[in-house]
Amino acid sequence: MAIGVLALQGSFNEHITALNKLGVKGVEIRKPEQLEHVRALIIPGGESTTMAKLAEYHNLFPALRSFVKSGKPVWGTCAGLIFLADRAVGQKQGGQELVGGLDCLVHRNFFGSQIQSFETELSVPTLADKEGGPPNFRGIFIRAPAILEAGPSVEVLADYPVPSKQVMETASESKTEQEQNNSGEKVIVAVKQGNLLATAFHPELTADTRWHSFFMNMVDGPVDEGSADQTIAYIAKQLPVFQ
């Protein structure tokens, strides 16, 4: 079976390219029935409100929630992280629909506007232990979210230091004054919970494929290229979809 990449908007092509580098075939997903033919799914970065509106238009949310609950691996990057979160703050008026499943509170636009995007070296000991390579990873944050709170079943894979005042201000919608006073000086930017992986940054925009390899190791059993070819052929026969 192939690996699906939600292709409504955002950096889905970059994820498919990264998968190809690992010898894995990724297929674009735009319709609910296409999810039945993939064994894992990547929800890419992009503009989360736009992606949510398109997902609602194509009636994808019920199928996405079923896919998450099925236990198949799902990885959300940036906007994809927001999609997977159970709770979100910092959203536009009226909010946006979430897929859910990841026991965390995410701030939709924690790091600011597009012009405040940045790159930084992140400490990733678990990634280095599992996939080799250096103990750091170059994180690309583009109008990025951050995880403010994570449940007990969530494994933190990377965090990023920020002024405690910033954490307090952005968490104010969900935390009491006492809880704000106890805020730490780091926010979480990569997590794993069961079949779910989420990163606030964009690994697909780097030449380092270790996060994609890490995700592929969450897939139960090898990805068969022959089956992937059949899946791509099936999807190609579908009716015209959103471009």
Sketch out the chain's domains with CATH numbers.
2-236 (3.40.50.880)
Residues in the chain: 243
- Give pLDDT, residue 225: 45
- Give pLDDT, residue 77: 97
Residue 104 catalytic?
Answer: no
- Give pLDDT, residue 235: 42
- Give pLDDT, residue 55: 92
Name the catalytic one among 15, 37, 107, 202: 202
Residue 204 catalytic?
Answer: yes
Residue 78 catalytic?
Answer: yes
Pairing of strands 155-161, 186-193: antiparallel
- Give pLDDT, residue 116: 85
- Give pLDDT, residue 66: 97
Measured in degrees and rounded to the nearest 5, phi and psi for residue 39 equal: -105, -5
Name the catalytic one among 104, 131, 204, 212: 204
> 237 exposed, middle or buried (CB, 10 Å; 0-12, 13-18, 19+)?
exposed
- What is the C-alpha to C-alpha distance for residues 109 and 78, in angstroms, rounded to an integer? 10
- Give pLDDT, residue 136: 97
pTM for this entry: 0.83
Q: What is the pLDDT along the chain (243 residues), one digit of tens a residue?
A: 689 999 999 899 999 999 999 999 999 999 999 999 999 999 999 888 888 899 999 999 999 999 999 999 999 999 999 999 999 997 665 567 899 999 999 999 899 878 889 999 999 999 999 999 999 999 999 999 999 999 999 999 999 998 755 554 554 444 433 343 334 589 999 999 999 999 999 999 999 999 999 999 999 654 444 444 444 444 444 444 433
- Give pLDDT, residue 243: 37
Name the catalytic one among 78, 104, 131, 212: 78
